[in-house]
A and B are shown apart, each in its own frame.
Chain A
Amino acid sequence: MDYRLRIDGQDHAVSVPEDMPLLWVLRDVLGLTGTKFGCGAGLCGACTVHLDGAAARSCLTPVSMATGKEIVTIAGLSSTRVGRAVQGAWLAQDVVQCGYCQPGQMLSAAALLTDNSDPSDDEIDAGMSGNICRCGTYQRIRAAIRHAADELSA
């Protein structure tokens, strides 16, 4: 099937099966490798992208459901004010370790902050518990989300 996809502000045309997950369209068909594969089962959040501003697990999102939507990956996160605040906070809090989970973490955090500009600790935990970090950067992710929230409300 032929699909048009709008990814990080750019239009792409692909010809792939309709049930092919967006993750593999991004990584293997288009060569956009910023979005990561972690579990393929919606369990880890490494593959998180935005579809029309909402966080989605691209490993479980068939390409047919992503067409016609505004897709944002880590490469395009800095195009929004919230995204820039999140990336700035990630650097300020020196969050990353191996970094592999972090694109997904930042996309989830940006979606959380878009919905709720001043999340409580419990709301942060609830919004982020779908994203695993094996390196254990959770404490800094929490701090970075608060940092970004402060930045956004300033």
Chain B
Amino acid sequence: MTGKAVQMGRREILKTGALAGAALAIGIALPARAAGADKGGQAFLPHAVLAIMPDGTVTLYLPKTEMGQGVHTAIAMLIAEELEVAPSAFSIDIPPGDSVRFGDISQSTGGSTSMRELWAPLRQAAADTRMALVMAAARKWGVKATDCRARDGVIHRLDETSRLTYGEVCLDAAAWPLPAGTALKSPDDYRVLGKDQVRLDGEAKVKGTAQFGIDVRLPGMLTAALQQSPVFGGALRKVEEGAALAVAGVRQVVALDDAVAVLADNYWSAQQGLAALEPGWDEGPHAQLDQSAIVEPIVTAVSGPGTEAFNQGDVAEAMKASRQTVEAVYQQAFQAHAAMEPGNCVAHFTGNACEIWTGTQIPSAVRKQVASATGLPVEAVTVHNFLLGGGFGRRLEADMVLRTVQIARRASVPVKLVWSREEDVRHDLYRPYYADRLVAGLGEDRKPVAWRHHIAGSSIMARLYPRYYKGVDGDAVEGAKTIPYTVPSRRLEWTRQESAVPTSWWRGVGGLRSAFAVESFIDELAVAAKSDPVAYRRDLLRDPRAVAVLDLAAERAGWGRRLPEGQGQGVALIHLWDTYMAQVVEVEARENEQPRVLRVVVAVDCGQPVNPAGIRAQVEGGVVFGLSATLFGEITVAGGQVQQSNFHDYRVLRMNEAPLVETHIVDSREAPGGMGEPPTAAVGPALANAVFAATGRRVRTLPLARNLWV
């Protein structure tokens, strides 16, 4: 199932193309609704994201999934600014998956695209809505709209002789065509954007009342535990149901081609039933597959030629003419997502309809995939979406939902399937294992004159969009095709190298892989040039925004100051997802000990900050996520099976290992850049460079903690 390509229409790939850094959402507009079309004419529904009721309620239908990144708060801020209401004034509704409802706005959430995509259309929609309300009030008063102004959900006559609330005029506004092209505020007039806003979902999460997909309970529902073929590509040969059915509370055993599930009154009984089964497996073609057989071809590939992804100048000539060459191969391990909320989904299949309750990053795509898997029309499938207990790209796939549907089709009641942590780790769709080989020729001034980069690994794009894959994975080469540094001759090559290990999106996507390779390598060039890593980078930069974040991070970190024995500083700079970021990591690395990350100083220019408090949170969290992967994260395969299973052997950072993170945000009026991926992408190379500074050891194969002292 995981290998199955998803067929998507042109519009879909354009929308999802944003994930790979393709051109973004210029001129996207929300479709205006026929005025008052819904709710029996009892509400003003200017467009798909808003409903205003006569009692003053303003409902915000979130077009994106909240998974911790704060998008709920940020979207509320975009609308609040132009609608002239407080961000906390909305009542929030998480709408079901629907590819039509939001027009050109994608309901998919990933690739740090939300603010970049929504910045223009949501503010425009909110401004037009405000204008409609103001015009309705002006009509009532028989004055011009310019004689009125809106503030905090109330329209005032400028002479302050009368006032009307949004609720009081909303039905009148609904009866008229929605204005278009209302002028947006000047940034000087912002009252919401760029100001710290505490999270709007904070209170429910602190009280413990926030509902995640895993918390869904339906009448008559059974809960299922799952075991999938331990070996990739294996099949279920036989299973004796009796042992499971003998466990109290167990109701049904469902045998599938490559998995077995036990359905019970509660999850504990289901797990007990599953443990009592002794399923027999046909291990299939990958039973002998070991890690080395996966990694070797990837590493070998980068020493040969690949498919051209980018070429500028005559690299071979420039390389020959160079004074010195530097070469390095970097390897990055398979990663599991290991979101705190394990995989889960509730499905109810009735024969002519299928209803899904789950937390997903792709509600409308899930709806289509369930329809095609069941043969039902899309209209017969409903996908209720929920808060996610972490996404990180794992819920950009529908595999967990489709697995639940397979089981629910064989049951007569709603089924909640919960992945054990072990199943979650061993049956993820992993971040690919990648190898990068870089070769640079340095000129007389020790600056690179020639640059050759070859990337090899699994292609997620080719799996998901086979019809649009033209030999190069646009996501995988992001951050390698364009680099922040000026190099006269540059060539980039790509080799797709698949294995039996299923792969997918992971926080930081392709840019993260590029960032580790490019930013480690530029550091190696600085060393070869006997130059300071910050000064060496700065000399190669042209973009003033890149220079500014580099200088800011260096300055705030006290770059170059004397550190105690065993400590070091490392720097990394990225320009990805329309965001500029520099990080300085300070590390302590004593012989044969695990390195301790002491402090991370981050300078970021992500354009106009929407919510600085949210940006700081993304930086702090993204740094921790990236440190976990760089220091410890590693999924390995033996006998065709994943060897890790839970947090004891798939380690993630704990509080005692978490550094102090300082965030410095550059004030900017440029359109917003993404903030979900950059902190995770930049911290890895900054850490490796810091470890080099502390120890003289250059770790080119991750994870770092295991490879540092070997």
Contact = CB atoms under 8 A, between A and B. Distances in A.
A97 B70 contact: yes
B584 interface: no
B340 A96 contact: no
B210 to A, nearest CB: 5
Interface string B201-218: 111111111111011010
Contacts of B392: 134
A94 interface: yes
B655 A129 contact: yes
A39 B421 contact: yes
A134 B390 contact: yes
Interface in A42-71: 43-44, 46
A24 B622 contact: no
Contacts of B646: 39, 41, 43
A36 interface: yes
B73 to A, nearest CB: 10
A103 B209 CA distance: 10
A33 B215 contact: yes
A152 interface: no
Contact of B655 (A27, A40, A73, A125): A125
B462 interface: no
A27 B342 CA distance: 15
Contacts of B5: none
Contacts of B656: 125-126, 128-129
A91 B203 contact: yes
A136 B390 contact: no
B206 A87 contact: yes
B206 A39 contact: no
B198 interface: yes
Contacts of A78: 207
A114 interface: no
A134 B340 contact: yes
Interface stretch (B110-118, B480-488, B613-621): B613-621
A60 B420 CA distance: 14
A94 to B, nearest CB: 5
Contact of B266 (A29, A41, A44, A136): A29
Interface string A15-39: 0010011001001110101101111
Interface in B184-242: 198-199, 201-212, 214-215, 217, 223
Contacts of B341: 36, 38, 98, 100
A115 to B, nearest CB: 17
Interface hub of A40, A95, A128 (most chain B Cβ within 10 A): A40
Contacts of A17: 248, 268
B613 A138 contact: no
Contacts of A106: 206
B647 A132 contact: yes
Given A34-B208, A97-B68, A98-B389, A138 B658 contact: yes
A69 B658 CA distance: 34
Contacts of B624: 133, 135-136, 138
A4 interface: no
Q: Which applies to chain A's interface (DSSP): helix, strand, loop or mixed?
A: loop
Nearest to B625: A136
B391 to A, nearest CB: 8
B198 A132 contact: no
Given A38-B342, A125-B656, A91 B202 contact: yes
B79 interface: no
Interface in B646-668: 646-648, 652-656, 658, 660-661
A25 to B, nearest CB: 8
A17 B265 CA distance: 13
Contacts of B212: 36, 100
A5 B199 CA distance: 35
A29 B270 CA distance: 13
A28 B266 contact: yes
Interface string B45-73: 00000000000000000000001111000
Given A31-B217, A101-B340, A96 B268 contact: no
Contacts of B209: 34, 75
Given A37-B342, A97-B69, A135-B390, 17 more contacts: A24-B267, A27-B267, A28-B223, A28-B268, A38-B421, A39-B647, A46-B340, A74-B208, A95-B206, A96-B199, A96-B201, A96-B205, A97-B70, A98-B67, A129-B656, A134-B392, A136-B621
10 contacts: A77-B208, A87-B206, A96-B205, A99-B205, A102-B205, A128-B656, A134-B390, A136-B625, A139-B661, A141-B655
Interface of A: 17, 20-21, 24, 27-29, 31, 33-34, 36-41, 43-44, 46, 73-75, 77-78, 87, 90-91, 94-103, 106, 124-126, 128-142
